[in-house]
Amino acid sequence: MQAAQSTIDQHEVAKFEAMAAEWWDPNGKFKPLHMLNPCRLDYITRQIAAEFDRDLSSDAPFSGLRILDIGCGGGLLSEPMARLGADVVGADAAERNIPVARVHAEQSGLNIDYRHTTAEALAASGEQFDAVLNMEVVEHVADPQEFLNVCAALLKPGGLHVCSTINRNLKSYGMAIIGAEYVMRWLPKGTHEWSKFITPDELYGFLSKAGLNPVDRKGFVFNPVSWSWSLSDRDLSVNYVTAAVKPG
């Protein structure tokens, strides 16, 4: 049990358990994720489609693919993946998130395998996936390298790992903490710890050391005029996302 929980930061888990009931409230504590979700879904679906040669305009384009949404929360990513035909496992270390996710999936007519578990426990049981979605999680774990090692172990050869997180610099401190938590009050104070943020080069290094081949990275950029997010090839200064492939 100790080994299976090695990268879990219980303090971080407690933060998200306290907000569990608000996952599907677009104006609640997860408003930033609801705003970002269309942009990150666009990136994720395009990466999966390219890697597995799927046509996104077809019915159930991800049929036959097994996808893990690690740190699934209330299911904001799991549900769209299921609608695209994937066999989805949504896993979260915060126990209170799972009932919320299950109820919403049932109400939406979706069959999603939600589990209160960890990446380590899934790997120990021999689970394997075509794609692992690791979105806004790595900055909340106790040991990012070990966590990514486990995520890599969960991938089938040729599998795709998509990971988003927050850069570590003065701009990210101003926007992700001062702006989001203190000025806009989108998130409770203390949701993020700046020291846990990870630079793109650091994340690429972690991924490579885990045995994955990083193939792409993009920035998520917020436009305060249009009040929307977009992808950027150049601006990775705050939020960003990476794609990596397991050899074989």
Residues in binding site for S-adenosyl-L-methionine:
40, 71, 92, 135
β-bridge partners, 133: 69, 162
Backbone angles phi, psi at 180, to 5 degrees: -75, -35
* Distance set, CA 48 to CA 132, 133, 173, 224 (Å): 10, 10, 31, 29
CB within 8 Å of 42: residues ≥ 6 apart: 231
| C-alpha to C-alpha distance for 176 and 184, rounded to whole angstroms | 10
What is the crossing angle of helices 144-153 and 200-209, to 10°?
A: 50
Which tokens sit at 233?
């090839």
| C-alpha to C-alpha distance for 169 and 150, rounded to whole angstroms | 27
Torsion of Cα atoms, 78 then 83 then 85 then 88, to 10°: 20
Contact (Cβ atoms closer than 8 angstroms) between residue 141 and residue 216: no
Q: Annotated binding site: which residue ranges?
A: 40, 71, 92, 135
